[in-house]
Structure 1
């Protein structure tokens, strides 16, 4: 059974489904990893089994895989089916907004990319998507004016603002829906700003979304 998300502190009516992610949606992050900025959204999927509750238990990192990088992202909880929708239609499908970490086995990803192979293993392993609770989407007045951040051991590591997205929220959802239907319970990660780095055992993490949401987690 897949994990159940919480929306305003209550269990969501559908189990979590797939997690749709966008790569390189902030130009500064693409630059820090020496990656070109894509001409259209770069999408990949994490399975539902990659999702863990960010704050309920220590986050477990794979052993013997080298650096595990954190990438803090605003997350969208889908509340109704979206298929071949327009950008304006896409916004009606968002039930909630929260935060997530897109955890990455960076060395394994680099090796797979060098060979031209898919790199889902580096992004979709069990535990690769720590997720906070969600707050109702109607709290958001403007999707291009949302601030979020990640602090580690009391130090600010990542700070993002959705106006910096190369593909804004409504266009991202509309684009994704042209290729695969977004279902209730699916989650969409909207990209990470610059400042990614390595997690270490014992790190204390804090994910913040405006003044709506702030959760703490621990790397076990």
Structure 2
């Protein structure tokens, strides 16, 4: 029987609030331009015909509270505070009602971005991978089970850098709701438990430098924190 040349890296796993069990993460989907004001500050418009996505490797995941080195290859490293949805059931070609019932839980997340590389790729019509899908670029707080969340919409979402508020909005400002996103994605992928969806960021994104302390929150969910260390 053929043997693998080297061992597979284990899938990362996320903490679940109040539990000792972990949530294995297989894929990370990210939604672009899902807040109109953020799209405006980036000099683009929301595509209201359909949401669009990019992916991060599961190995990009790091837990809240980490100290991460300033990443290589960039001089414009940005935070993006987001609501993250964790799937708890398979979905394929699902309607919104079925999609909404497949949510395992919700969490606060940071989509860390090498903005200069993203914008350079965007200007040339190239994929965003160098700007978005890099090591330790998806920071995740513990997941709160969906049963503990009455509804998604009225909650305030915010982010601060060194104690100063930089992003602030409400989840009702999302262009595409959670159930709409999951339904749409399920027409292009066989979604499974272990899939995370970062649902987009509000206006107010900006650069951080070594020594910065980032904190973000959504009403009712565990906060996410990150400290930027020295460059590697």
Report the TM-score range of the alignment, normalised by the length of the smaller protein: over 0.9
Partner of 2:187: 178
Partner of 1:121: 130
Whether the 8 Å contact between 1:160 and 1:192 is mirrored in structure 2 is: no
Partner of 1:4: 13
What is the aligned residue count?
219
Residues 155-200 of structure 1: CA deviation (Å, up to 9, x unaligned): 1111121111111111011001111122111111111000000011
Q: How does 1:179-218 map to 2 (within 5 A)?
A: 179-218=188-227
Matched, 1:164 2:141: no
Residues of 2 paired with 1:129 and 1:61: CA distance? 14
Partner of 1:24: 33
Q: Which runs of 5+ in 2 are unaligned?
A: 1-9
* TM-score for both structures, normalised by structure 2: 0.89
> 1:206 Cα shift?
1.4
Residues of 2 paired with 1:213 and 1:23: CA distance? 23
Partner of 1:47: 57
CA RMSD of aligned residues (A): 1.5
Partner of 1:99: 108
Which structure has the larger Rg over C-alpha atoms?
2
Q: Which runs of 5+ in 1 are unaligned?
A: none
* TM-score for both structures, normalised by structure 1: 0.94
Partner of 2:5: none
Whether the 8 Å contact between 2:108 and 2:221 is mirrored in structure 1 is: no
